[in-house]
Structure 1
């Protein structure tokens, strides 16, 4: 599907609720917003629903950063990078704390940006109370439903989409051997989507989200099989999130990404690029930045050219806040803006793809 300006307006307004006004030092970047050619403005002209970014809580005292993050010409959609994950939302059993999620979501609502909410179920970033005790199958199912009920109800009708389940498969296409599989079995995936449908609110899209699925491979085919199984059983699922965490010079090609998306759009799902970044082995160079730009552009073009790809989200836009250096030793600078807030060649390559 492709989206008109009216459909974008309806999508943002129908999800908006009243929210506290931003703090006095909160900078909406009005000077930037008057410029018509930011990435989100270009994406909407190209027929996408949004171009968005993840935002993490350590950035929230940086007014320069916020002036870009909440600039709707650049970013029409916001994803909390960490603030809605289980360890922060339910740090003690049945004790819920939405402060970190709200710190990202409420300014986005105030600024009329769409929200992708992330995530209801994952094997990582779980609280100690959940991982340090052996629960029975029925106990853990009850815990799962209770968590989804509270979080989804709290953010009811505020999210364009929820990443309901995150990263449940290994690269070889087998299920990830984690707490949920050990205790509940593979049906935990179906249960999570059933519970989400019950509580998220009308119109919110339910996504499965994963990495290394941007090529047709064992993992992406296993997920497609899961989707077919869901559909045969009337388990609700609306979308497939392609995380798209890539390495400069090793990213999938335009044709590969487009072919993998087709696996899921042929099944009637919408798809989205949900966590795009392209990390580089340091030190950086002009040559590496040129290749990084090509890798970004190929993925964004694949989404733009896929009828049911709704949008692109970068996993933060500013190099100093990227997760990459903490996880991949010797790698970094994966974002569209450099440390001094300069737009990198990748930014201009993405803009050109959206403009074409």
Structure 2
């Protein structure tokens, strides 16, 4: 086998080995202080959540962040990192485990940034969602522009999955194995996705098999945007999942990204959609929730916009809580300071639950109160019964 040189990013590892800095006055005390406060400013999402229900966020870094006028958020912004540890029981690398960052050259891996996130999660008693193994986007040039035979490409993917999943075996709760493999009409991305285009649809099942062999304990997911409702795209995943399960392929979950916008109505069949995958025996999850909006000229959302945004967040969380094995709920970043939305959606923003100064929006409190209600009412049994009556 070709020797693989694994390089670690010393800067990232060293920075994250330092103690967390003191938080600003509006932040909660360290998780390790063990002190309870009556003030709402010390409320934490992870504490409000029912037992066994994970509330997560993306860990900012890589991707569009490299083009901004600030240093890497995760390694340099200590107040941000402190809130990351306090508020959430699950973390997802926003970009740090994608191919272009973790496998920048054919014979070289860069594990430093991903290692640092996994180590951070362990110290803060968090689980990790691995993101992602097979995708059509954010692949390195050496892969997309290389002149490989089908056998070589298959070997490259198998080696990558085996190496990356194997490195974090026992440390990753869920993996997004196949990401965004269908278009809006429910057709496989046979042109955009190098793996499907060159190796055929059967490579999807192989990716799940290889990931399962590398870490038998990790839950393996399909993940996509635009599949919140029952529609052509989610129907395609439903049919494919049924087929793979019949073949004995280790598919364990289906997740909706839920990048929502106030321009459009809330996906009202979200709960119904999650429930049909649940009936197949799969776990389900909301993995990348944010709710963007068209901002007024002054860049500040109106009270009406913030109220509607909070309603969308609350509805998404309630839908997940109402489905038996929807146990993981992740927002795609918790502060507008590092949100991807303004970079990719001109004129839209304010998509997260906190401002750039970490002030909590109504959406934060909507999540908090919904989690508290679910926990108080018994979640797994009584809370769901009550929801179905309504």
1:27 Cα deviation after fit: 3.6
Mapped to 1, the partners of 2:14 and 2:104 lie a distance apart of: 25
TM-score of the pair, normalised by structure 1: 0.89
- Most deviating of 55-64 and 155-164: 55-64
Residues 141 and 251 of structure 1: CA distance in aligned 2, closer, same or farther (over 3 Å): farther
1:235 Cα deviation after fit: 0.6
1:120 has 2:133 as partner: yes
- The answer (yes or no) to whether the contact 2:16–2:116 under 8 Å persists in 1 is no
* Per-residue Cα deviation, 1:45-86 (whole angstroms, up to 9, x for no partner): xx5521111112321211111110011xx2001111110111
Mapped to 2, the partners of 1:107 and 1:170 lie a distance apart of: 35
Residues 99 and 28 of structure 1: CA distance in aligned 2, closer, same or farther (over 3 Å): farther
* Per-residue Cα deviation, 1:186-228 (whole angstroms, up to 9, x for no partner): 11211111111111x2321011111111100000010011100
The 5 Å alignment of 1:271-310 reads 271-283=284-296, 284-310=301-327
The 5 Å alignment of 1:15-94 reads 22-27=16-21, 31=29, 33=31, 34-35=35-36, 37-44=43-50, 47-57=51-61, 58-60=72-74, 61-71=76-86, 74-94=87-107
- The answer (yes or no) to whether the contact 2:337–2:357 under 8 Å persists in 1 is no
Aligned twin of 2:194: 179
- The answer (yes or no) to whether the contact 1:214–1:252 under 8 Å persists in 2 is no
- The answer (yes or no) to whether the contact 1:282–1:332 under 8 Å persists in 2 is yes
Aligned twin of 1:226: 240
- The answer (yes or no) to whether the contact 1:123–1:179 under 8 Å persists in 2 is yes
Match of 1:169, SS state, is coil
1:32 Cα deviation after fit: 5.3
* Per-residue Cα deviation, 1:233-273 (whole angstroms, up to 9, x for no partner): 111110111101000252434x4110110120010001011
Aligned twin of 1:141: 154
Mapped to 2, the partners of 1:287 and 1:326 lie a distance apart of: 24
Mapped to 2, the partners of 1:281 and 1:249 lie a distance apart of: 8
* Per-residue Cα deviation, 1:10-30 (whole angstroms, up to 9, x for no partner): xxxxxxxxx999433524867
- The answer (yes or no) to whether the contact 1:297–1:346 under 8 Å persists in 2 is yes
- The answer (yes or no) to whether the contact 2:208–2:251 under 8 Å persists in 1 is yes
Match of 2:207, SS state, is helix
Match of 1:31, SS state, is coil
Q: Name structure 1 gaps, 5 residues minimum.
A: 1-18
Aligned twin of 1:247: 261
- The answer (yes or no) to whether the contact 1:117–1:161 under 8 Å persists in 2 is yes
* Larger Rg computed on CA atoms: 2
TM-score of the pair, normalised by structure 2: 0.81
Aligned twin of 2:227: 213
* Per-residue Cα deviation, 1:268-317 (whole angstroms, up to 9, x for no partner): 00101101100111122111111101111000010111111112111110
Aligned residues: 332
1:158 has 2:158 as partner: no
1:336 has 2:353 as partner: yes
Aligned twin of 1:8: none
Mapped to 1, the partners of 2:342 and 2:263 lie a distance apart of: 18
- The answer (yes or no) to whether the contact 1:48–1:310 under 8 Å persists in 2 is yes
* Per-residue Cα deviation, 1:102-129 (whole angstroms, up to 9, x for no partner): 2222111121111111111111111111
- The answer (yes or no) to whether the contact 2:22–2:79 under 8 Å persists in 1 is no
1:198 has 2:204 as partner: no
- Most deviating of 237-246 and 19-28: 19-28
Mapped to 2, the partners of 1:69 and 1:226 lie a distance apart of: 35
Mapped to 2, the partners of 1:112 and 1:241 lie a distance apart of: 23
Mapped to 2, the partners of 1:207 and 1:347 lie a distance apart of: 27
Find runs of 4+ consecutive structure 1 residues off by over 4 angstroms: 19-22
Mapped to 2, the partners of 1:28 and 1:262 lie a distance apart of: 42
- The answer (yes or no) to whether the contact 1:240–1:264 under 8 Å persists in 2 is yes
